[in-house]
């Protein structure tokens, strides 16, 4: 279903937590988009955002019955992504679902099948590739500024959910619900696959552990990946609730090093470092940087609907990313290298 370029695209946001709010903030910066309402399993959460963004709280049935709604954004706990996506696709609505698109491969296949059958767009919310720093880095890679890439070294210390600022939802601390650090590693999987234009073919994970014993999901990991084009990657991930943020991606090429620190800087090192400026100035650069990533992502979703074309991050890509993440768990459980066969 394509839309007239002047028509207002009507969106419902399902999931009214931190991510649902971020999607709404981004949509407010995009022309010809109307947020018709919010849904959440906890009604007061939907009502809170509905009041904040001057719209209404909706039930799932109300969204399904409203034929004026063109698309939905699904920002619920990970374990609910597939179930809600399938309902909306069957009802004829375009879907942008937050990563991971599902927590089981069979559910990915079902989502892809229904979207194709009903000629609808299914886009996966892999925001990292839309960040300004990621776009700058991609151009540096494509322009061969550091030559052929041989190795990537990544460390990410996420502040998690900080006491007094944000509360960790219960599901995020439960692996069976799709919570935890490894499922969040799907960001790196998607980003690097996009940058390198190559698929991951080997996964080895010697460490998955937790720091907070009250949490039933992973908080610390060491991951090794190999791409079909020969690039080797080492990732150290930590996601406790200390309140510290420290992350950097280093790509080592034959002509230099590319360093990306999200929301802070992008630089290329040869005999000295050259820093690349972000396309905006802000009092809170990390927040503005991340918000711009969502604006870029959701603009792509809306454009793909209007232009009747596939979005940049398709269901097939989301499925491939999930397969890598599930292989990480398999590698750690079996203490062995897992080879991935890409179609």
* 1 within some domain: no
Please report the pLDDT score of residue 277 as a whole number: 80
Q: Are residues 85 and 180 in the same domain?
A: no
Confirm if 73 and 40 have CB atoms less than 8 A apart: no
Q: What is the pLDDT of residues 45-89, one digit of tens each?
A: 999 999 999 999 999 999 999 999 999 999 999 999 999 999 999
DSSP calls for 199-260: -EEEEEEEEEE-SSTT-BS--EEEEEEEETTS-EEEEEEE--SS---EEEEEEEESS-EEEE
The answer to whether position 58 is within a domain reads yes
pLDDT, averaged across the chain: 90
Q: Could you tell me the CATH number of the domain that includes residue 185?
A: 3.30.360.10
Question: Do 107 and 140 reside in the same domain of the chain?
Answer: no
3 within domain boundaries: no
Asked whether residue 135 falls in the same domain as residue 276, the answer is yes
Residue 69 resides in a domain: yes
Contacts 24+ apart (CB under 8 A), 274-281: 276/136, 276/140, 278/132, 278/133, 278/136, 279/132, 280/132
- Rama region for 169: left / alpha / beta (φ>0; ψ in -120 to 50; rest): beta
Task: Decide if 182 is inside a domain.
Answer: yes
Is 240 part of any domain?
yes
pLDDT digits (tens, 9 = 90+) for 236-280: 988 765 666 778 999 999 999 999 987 678 999 999 999 998 766
pLDDT tens per residue across span 96-155: 999 999 999 999 999 999 999 999 999 999 999 999 999 999 999 999 999 999 999 998
Number of domains present in the structure of the chain? 2
pLDDT class for 215, splitting at 50, 70, 90? confident
Q: Is residue 289 part of a domain?
A: no
Verify that 141 and 278 share a domain, yes or no: yes
Contact between 237 and 223 under an 8 Å Cβ cutoff? The reply is: yes
292 falls within a domain: no
Q: What is the pLDDT of residue 165?
A: 43
Angle at 166 between CA 130 and CA 283, to 5 degrees: 55
Please choose, from the candidates 25, 262, 271, the residue with its C-alpha nearest in 3D space to the C-alpha of residue 157.
262
Q: Do both 147 and 234 map to the same domain?
A: yes
- What token pair was written down for 146? 């550091």
Query: Can you give the CATH number for the domain in which 63 is found?
Result: 3.40.50.720
Asked whether residue 45 falls in the same domain as residue 152, the answer is no
Cis amide linkage into residue 177, ω under 30° from 0: no
Residues 136 and 78 in one domain: no
* Shared domain check, 186 and 42: no
Question: Can you give the residue range of the structural domain that contains 157?
Answer: 129-284+322-339
The tens digit of pLDDT for each residue in 143-195 reads: 999 999 999 999 887 655 444 444 556 656 566 666 678 888 999 999 999 99
Residues 104 and 191 occupy one common structural domain: no
> For residue 310, what pLDDT band results from cuts at 50, 70 and 90?
very high
- In this prediction, residue 164 carries a pLDDT of 42
Say if residue 37 is in the same domain as residue 169: no
138 lies in the same domain as 105: no
pLDDT at 201 over 70: yes
Residues 178, 267: one domain?
Answer: yes
Stated pTM of the model: 0.93
Please give the share of the chain, as a percent, with pLDDT higher than 70.
88
Q: Which of 12-16, 52-56, 70-74, 213-217 has the lowest mean pLDDT?
A: 213-217
């Amino acid at each position: 279903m394509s839309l007239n370029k002047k028509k207002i695209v009507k969106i419902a946001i399902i999931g009214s937590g931190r991510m649902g709010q971020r999607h709404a903030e981004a949509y407010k910066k995009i022309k010809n988009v109307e947020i018709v309402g919010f849904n959440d399993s906890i009604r007061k959460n939907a009502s809170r955002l509905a009041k904040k963004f001057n719209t209404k709280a909706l039930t799932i049935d109300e969204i399904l019955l409203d034929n004026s709604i063109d698309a939905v954004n699904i920002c619920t706990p990970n374990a609910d992504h597939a179930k809600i996506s399938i309902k909306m696709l069957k009802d004829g609505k375009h879907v942008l679902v937050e990563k991971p698109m599902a927590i089981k491969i069979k559910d990915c296949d079902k989502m892809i099948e229904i979207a194709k059958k009903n000629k609808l767009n299914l886009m996966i919310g892999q925001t990292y590739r839309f960040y300004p720093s990621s776009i700058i880095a991609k151009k540096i890679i494509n322009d061969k500024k550091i030559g052929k890439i041989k190795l990537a070294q990544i460390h990410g210390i996420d502040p998690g959910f900080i006491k007094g600022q944000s509360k960790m939802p219960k599901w995020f601390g439960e692996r069976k619900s799709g919570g935890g650090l490894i499922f969040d590693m799907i960001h790196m999987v998607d980003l690097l696959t996009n940058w390198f234009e190559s698929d991951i073919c080997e996964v080895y994970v010697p460490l998955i552990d937790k720091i907070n014993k009250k949490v039933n999901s992973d908080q610390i990991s060491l991951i090794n990946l190999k791409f079909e084009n020969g690039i080797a990657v080492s990732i150290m991930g930590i996601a406790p609730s200390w309140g510290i943020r420290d992350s950097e991606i280093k790509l080592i090429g034959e002509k230099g090093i590319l360093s990306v620190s999200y929301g802070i800087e992008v630089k290329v090192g040869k005999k000295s470092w050259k820093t690349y400026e972000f396309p905006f100035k802000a009092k809170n650069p990390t927040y503005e940087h991340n918000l711009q990533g969502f604006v870029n992502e959701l603009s792509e979703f809306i454009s793909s609907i209007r232009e009747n074309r596939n979005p940049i991050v398709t269901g097939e890509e989301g499925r491939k990313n999930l397969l890598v993440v599930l292989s990480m768990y398999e590698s750690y459980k079996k203490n062995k290298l897992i080879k991935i066969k890409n179609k």
